[in-house]
Amino acid sequence: MSRVELRAAPTAERMAIVSIDLETLNPTERRDLANALLRAAWSATLAETRTLLLDLLVEADPDVVGEGP
């Protein structure tokens, strides 16, 4: 059985595990799932990169966010 499991630390507000049986999906649904997972991973990576770049910008020029002298 082909299965995708996404795990996260459980909290009161969300589930800890999402399980998807790939054998029940048709090829189009599998492609859509793969694309959605790739977009989610890419978005997370971009968010980290934006944070890093913003931190570097503020370090280089505090006036950008109004923290200068």
List pLDDT tens digits, range 6-46. Answer: 666 666 666 667 778 888 889 999 899 889 888 888 888 88
Element (H, E) at 48: helix 27-60
What the block records as the tokens of 52 is 């890093």
Total-model pTM: 0.52
- The pLDDT of residue 3 is above 90: no
C-alpha span between 19 and 52 (Å, rounded): 32
Asked whether the predicted pLDDT for residue 57 surpasses 90, the reply is no
**What is the helix (H) or strand (E) element at residue 5, kind and residue range?**
strand 3-7
What's the CA angle centered on 52, arms 68 and 50, to 5 degrees?
100
